[in-house]
Amino acid sequence: MNSWTLRNAGLGNYEINRFLAANILCTATESSPYFWVDSLSRWERLSEGLGTQRRTRGIAADNTGKTWIGIDGDGIASLDDTLWMRLRIPGPSSSNFSDITIDKDGEIWGVHYGGFVQERRGKTISHFRNNSWEILNDTNELGIESAIRWVDVDQKNNKWFGIWGIDIDIDILKLSEDGIWDSLALPVGNVVGSQYVDSQDNKWFSNFSSSVCKLLPDDTTWQIYSDENYLNYIVAFADDDAQNMYFGSIQRGVSVLKPDNSWIKLGGLPSQQVHDLTVDEDGDLWIATTASGVVVVRDFSVIRHYTRDNSGLLGDIVHDILIDWKNNKWFLIENRGVSVLKNNGEWDSLTVSDGLASDFIIDDLDGLAFDAQHGYLWIATKDGISRYETGFVPLPPDSELEQVGVFPNPFITREHHRVTFSRLPDDAQVFLYSVSMKRIKVIDEIDGVTHQAFWDGTDENNKPVDSGIYVFVIVHPNGNKKTGKIAVIR
């Protein structure tokens, strides 16, 4: 009869994630990798070179016999004799996001407070520019004591980072446009429960438990608003063109500070538990709730209530709302994905089956950001980040056609389905000619949503054109034109 023998000697952690039986027996644990030493009949920990990040999630050997481990939140490492050589895979500091934003240069900023998910990279900042990720505060050179939960950009393109930590010296980090770091403490203690930059460039910070602090545009003067105005547990802010300031509480609904400094509390809400607030181009307030879907408020009264049962929402637990430049509303839904209410009233959704990196969406995640310059919707989750190409790119001014794009060029018919003309005015026309200026085709169907037109490589009789160079002329009714050439390869 076969029997089991315990081999725990020397093993400092019994939480085993993976075994490897190669030249020697190895195991990846929650605290460190271990190797079995036969001559000693015990496990020996081997962690030199790993620093403080030793939680190993996987272990494997390549075809040369070299041992590799995966380190939780810190990439991978290979064993060189008795020293681990770390290799960080290009990407964000962690797949576990708590907030993302886009600055005025179209660059992405993300932070990694773990919340309910254990996260060892919570003090780092992920910065995406020029199609690559940069990791800031990688070794905590800024000396912060707790994780960064929030990130926002002000009108001067300064970046503001809110820290979730009790009784700490630094509550807020500021990275100025010229690259200088500064640190601030809230005038009222506790954690940064949420933050927001309003249309007047005031910075608002919730201390979560009892009050809200406003930092004026000079970045030195504070104003404090106390809990007597329903400011407990504030997790969301918004402001409108009438200079009403809205405060959303995770427990006490929505309060409004009016321009005359009077306060009101919104009534008629289906839930007092709020996750997010935003205002659309019509001045309507959109409220994301923790279990009752989305509420729309106009003139301080509820006018509409969307739920999973009466709309295209994927679920009723809504973490984040984003409104893009075309007034489409995007909703981040807990453990489901993204729902969108388009400006024409139609609903759609994005899920893992559509290519979303993950639907692990929990813990008041501010995971939506829109890059209007390129029409990209960035979707951050607790297990990765995705970029969705919406096609919603702002229209160039009628007098300018310089921003119109034409791709792919060359048009290789074996690889490409069509040529796309992007960022077109709705009433433009595209004329296609041979190099001898014989007209080949006229395209006047411009998609009013994406501002795109398409050419499938055929002439006016829908016959494929030959390989060669073709001239396009984009004409606007005001007389402006843009010309260029397209190579067709068959």
Residue 399 in domain:
no
Same domain, 420 and 378: no
Kindly tell me the burial class for residue 328, based on how many C-beta atoms sit within 10 Å of its own C-beta (0-12, 13-18, 19 or more): buried
Are 220 and 363 in the same domain? yes
Last residue of a domain, one of 389, 421, 440: 389
Task: With respect to residue 8, please indicate whether it lies within any of the assigned structural domains.
Answer: no
The residue type found at 157 is N
Adjacent-strand bridge partners of 92: none
* Calpha distance 94→110 (Å, rounded): 9
Is beta strand 159-164 parallel, antiparallel or unpaired with respect to 172-175? antiparallel
- State whether 115 and 157 are in the same domain: yes
Percent of the chain with pLDDT over 90: 62
Task: Clarify whether residues 288 and 238 are in a common domain.
Answer: yes
Residue 184: pLDDT above 90?
Answer: yes
Both tokens of 168, joined, read 């700490």
pLDDT tens column, 317-358: 999 999 998 899 999 999 999 999 998 899 999 999 999 999
Contacts of 248 (CB under 8 A, 6+ apart): 234, 235, 236, 237, 238, 254, 274, 275, 276, 277, 287
Residue 93 within a domain = no
pLDDT at 466: 94
Q: Is the model's pLDDT at 397 over the cut of 60?
A: no
| Same domain (yes/no): 105, 79 | no
Condensed to tens digits (0 to 9), the pLDDT of residues 257-305 reads 999 999 999 999 999 999 999 999 999 999 999 999 999 999 999 999 9
| Minimum mean pLDDT range among 103-107, 108-112, 365-369, 403-407 | 403-407
324 and 205: one domain?
yes
Q: Does residue 398 have a pLDDT over 70? A: no
In a domain, 94, yes or no: no
Asked whether residue 314 falls in the same domain as residue 166, the answer is yes
Location of structure tokens 């036969």 = 38
| Domain membership flag for residue 44 | yes
**pLDDT single digits (tens) 422-446:** 888 878 899 999 998 899 999 988 8
Query: First CA to last CA across the chain, in angstroms?
Result: 70
Q: Mean pLDDT across the chain, nearest whole number?
A: 91
Tokens of 257: 């500070």
452 found inside a domain: yes
- Boundary of a domain, candidates 87, 120, 149: 87
- Domain with residue 445: its CATH number is 2.60.40.1930
Residue 32 lies in domain: 16-87
Residue 361 above 60 pLDDT? yes
Final residue of a structural domain among 339, 355, 389 = 389
Is residue 115 left, alpha or beta, with left meaning phi > 0 and alpha meaning psi from -120 to 50?
A: left
Query: Residues 258, 261, 266, CA angle at the centre, nearest 5°?
Result: 40
174 and 313 share one domain: yes
Instruction: Supply the pLDDT for residue 304.
Output: 97
| pLDDT tens track for 451-480 | 889 999 999 999 999 999 999 999 987 788
Q: What distance in Å separates the CA atoms of residue 379 and residue 381, rounded to the nearest whole number?
A: 7
Query: Are 343 and 431 within one domain?
Result: no
Predicted confidence (pLDDT) at residue 154 exceeds the cutoff of 90: yes
Looking at residue 265, its pLDDT comes to 94
Residues 185 and 252 in one domain: yes
Q: Tell me how far CA of residue 393 lies from CA of 44, 369, 422, in angstroms.
A: 57, 14, 8
Considering the domain boundaries, does residue 400 fall inside one?
Answer: no
Question: Are residues 74 and 103 both part of a single domain?
Answer: no
pLDDT digits 0-9 by tens, 86-108: 887 788 998 899 999 999 999 99
What CATH number is given to the structural domain containing 282? 2.130.10.10
User: How many domains does the chain divide into?
Assistant: 3
Q: 201 lies in a domain?
A: yes
Contacts 24+ apart (CB under 8 A), 264-269: 264/300, 265/230, 266/297, 266/300, 266/302, 268/301, 268/302, 269/295, 269/302
Q: Are residues 133 and 227 in the same domain?
A: yes
